[in-house]
Amino acid sequence: MQPLKMPRSEVSTITEHKNLGPVLSDRSDDRLVTHNFALSEKAKQPRPIGPDPIPQIRIICKGRLVSLSTAEIEFIESAANYVEVHAGGSTYRVRSTLKQFLNRLSPTIFVRIHRCTIVNLSHVKRCRAIRRGDSLLTLHNGRELVVSRKHKEAQNALRALA
């Protein structure tokens, strides 16, 4: 089977808009390499730190649009293909990923503490070390969450609170 031959300008246009660089990697177009390098560098950059850009987030839960104050959110945890947002004593189940939620929230207030948990630092009451570098967070509502030793950013943020 012969590969599809396309004009050079169309290939770069498709790549820029659809990010098909890996699919078209057999082409030796400098623009493709530059574009893919720029995408990989952008992915490595940390999220900006600053005031909470969104004081409220809107989620769809059970077919209803719910508006939650970000200060009200205690923690967010993954549950299969969903995330459960725990806020004000209620739990809202939303079809999303933790990464998508973390990108919508302020990095100075919300920190990923485990591969399946994000916590609001303003709801943390205390943090204590448990085993092999892991820690245990206690929230103001009494709920306890494990902080994985692999999440150094969270460990540093929690030390700053103490």
Predicted confidence (pLDDT) per residue in 101-154, tens digit: 888 888 888 989 999 999 998 999 988 888 887 888 899 999 999 988 887 777
Backbone angle region of 61, left / alpha / beta, with phi > 0 → left and psi within -120 to 50 → alpha: beta
pLDDT computed for residue 116 by the predictor: 93
The whole-angstrom separation of Cα 57 and Cα 94 is: 12
- Chain mean position to CA 35: 24
The CATH number corresponding to 56-161 among 1.10.1740.10, 3.90.1150.10, 3.20.20.370, 2.40.50.1020 equals 2.40.50.1020
Q: Where are the domains of the chain?
A: 56-161
Give the whole-number percent of the chain exceeding pLDDT 70: 64
26 Cβ partners below 8 Å, 6+ apart? 3
∠ CA 69-74-76, nearest 5°, is 100
Number of Cβ within a 10 Å radius of residue 52: 14
